[in-house]
Amino acid sequence: MAFLELVEVTKSYGGKKSAVENVNVAIESGEFFVLVGPSGCGKSTILRLIAGLEPLTSGYVLIDGQVANDWPPHARRLSMVFQNYALYPHLTVEQNMRIVLQAQKVPKEEQVKRCMEAAELLGLTDVLHRKPRELSGGQRQRVALGRAIVAQTPLCLMDEPLSNLDAKLRAKMRSELRRLQRQLGMTVIYVTHDQTEAMTMADRMMILHDGRPQQIGSPLDVYNSPDNTFVASFIGTPPMNLAEAHVLNHSLLLQNERPIHLLRRSLPKAERVIVGLRPEHIEPAESGEESMAVKVSHVEWLGNETLVTFELAKNLYWTARWNGQWRIRLGEVVPLTFDEQDFLFFDASGKRIGAPSIKREEVRVHQ
C-alpha cells in the first residue's frame, strides 16, 4: 500500500503566480484523503504533480519514502479516475477495463480473472458486453472505477469523478466508493469542490484556496475548529455566520449597531474581531429565557429542518438551522438564543484567535 508525502511542493507557470505553493502533507497507507476547495484553487494541479503529468517547480513528491520527482507516470504505480471517465467509446465494458492490463502485459487468464472480480464487485457483470453509450452515468462511473481496481495499484487518484451524476446517484456512489476503498485497502486522493462530499467521505481533508493549503485535518476537526474565516465559510451548509465586531467590556458590538453581551466567555484582547457562529447553534428562545429579538427575512422549509434567515443588524443577515418544520412568516419578529461558548473569534486578517497556524508535517526527504 502507498504512503505518499508532499514536501514544499510548488508549481508555477512561466514565472507567474504559483498555481500551487508550499504544500506539505503526509498521506498514510489506506487513507481516503480529500482535496477540497473552489474552482481554480490548485486541486487538480496537485493530482497531476503526484501522477507525474506535470513537472514540479520546486519541492518533492515521495512515494513509499523514495523521491519520485523524476519517475515517469507508469513507474509511480498509481491509477486515476477522471471527471469525464475517459472510456473508449468503441470498446466494450470488459475491453475498457482490461486495456490497462494489456498495457502492463498481464497474462490473458489473469486479465479475465481480475475483470470478472471487479465486475462482480461493482455490479457490472450483466453489462460487460455493452459499450459506453449504452450505459447510464452511474454505470460509466463504475467502469472507470473498475479500470482502476483491476490495475491493482496501491494508490488511486480521483478527479471529481461524481460531478457528472445527478444528486441521488451521487449520494449513492459516495457510500459505494468508500465501501470499495475500505474493502480493497487502496490509498485514495480524491479531488472535489463539493464540501458535502469532502465531509462525508474523507478520513482527512486539505482545504485549498488560491493554491495554498488553509487547513488539514479530519472533517469534524475542520468543521468545529476552522483555522480561518475562509475555512469557516467554505465548510458547512449553510456556512458559518460571520460579522465584524468591536470588543467592549463583556460585550460585542456587531457592525457598530447590535450589542451582544457575553458574561461567561472571556473576550479577545483585540479591539476589533470577526465573530463566527454556526447556524445550528442559534435556537428559538422559550418564554422567560434571555434572548434577542430579530426580524425574519427569509424561510426555507427542507422537510426535516427549517432554515431561518434574519436581519441581525443593518445589512447583516444570519441564518439559523432548526430541526423540524417551523411555521414562520416573513417579517415576523422572533426571539433567539445561543450558548456564548459556541462563538469563535478571528482576527482582522481572518485567522482564528487561539488556533495554531498550519504546521509543516514531520516528513523526511530521502535522496
Tell me the CATH number at 91.
3.40.50.300
191/225 same-domain check: yes
Burial 294-317 (b: 16+ CB within 10 A, else e): bebeebeeeeeebbbbbebbeebe
85/53 same-domain check: yes
R_g (Cα) of the chain, nearest Å? 24
198/325 same-domain check: no
For the stretch 239-281, pLDDT in tens is 999 999 998 888 888 887 888 888 777 788 888 999 999 999 9
Domain that holds residue 287: 238-346
190/70 same-domain check: yes
Query: pTM score, two decimals?
Result: 0.88
pLDDT at 361: 45
**How far is C-alpha 363 from the geometric centre of its chain's CA atoms?**
23
Asked if residue 360 is part of any domain, the answer here is no
Tell me the CATH number at 264.
2.40.50.140
Asked if residue 356 is part of any domain, the answer here is no
Residue 248 to residue 245: CA distance in whole angstroms: 9
Mean pLDDT of the 301-321 span: 92
- In single-letter form, the type of residue at position 16 comes to K
184/300 same-domain check: no
The share of the chain scoring above pLDDT 90, in percent, equals 57
207/292 same-domain check: no
Closest CA to 337 of 262, 265, 267: 262
For the stretch 336-352, pLDDT in tens is 998 888 999 999 999 99
Q: Are 52 and 76 in contact (CB under 8 A)?
A: yes
Asked if residue 367 is part of any domain, the answer here is no
Asked if residue 318 is part of any domain, the answer here is yes
Number of domains into which the chain is organized: 2
Q: Is the dihedral of CA 80, 81, 86, 91 positive or negative?
A: positive
Mean pLDDT of the 189-199 span: 93
Of the two residues 290 and 8, the one the predictor is more confident about is: 8
Is the confidence at residue 363, as pLDDT, over 50? no
Asked if residue 353 is part of any domain, the answer here is no
pLDDT at 259: 85
The DSSP code sequence of 79-104 is EEE-TT----TTS-HHHHHHHHHHHT
pLDDT at 360: 42
Asked if residue 93 is part of any domain, the answer here is yes
Q: What is the DSSP letter of 266?
A: P
Mean pLDDT of the 23-27 span: 95
| Span of 14-18, 54-58, 71-75 with lowest mean pLDDT | 14-18
Q: Are 81 and 188 in contact (CB under 8 A)?
A: no
95/166 same-domain check: yes
Q: Are 84 and 143 in contact (CB under 8 A)?
A: no
Q: Are 37 and 207 in contact (CB under 8 A)?
A: yes
Is the confidence at residue 196, as pLDDT, over 50? yes
Is the confidence at residue 357, as pLDDT, over 50? no
pLDDT at 297: 94
What band does 199 get if pLDDT is binned at 50, 70 and 90?
very high
User: How many of the other CB atoms lie within 10 Å of CB of 357?
Assistant: 9
Pairing of strands 155-159, 187-192: parallel
Is the confidence at residue 42, as pLDDT, over 60? yes
pLDDT at 184: 84
187/269 same-domain check: no
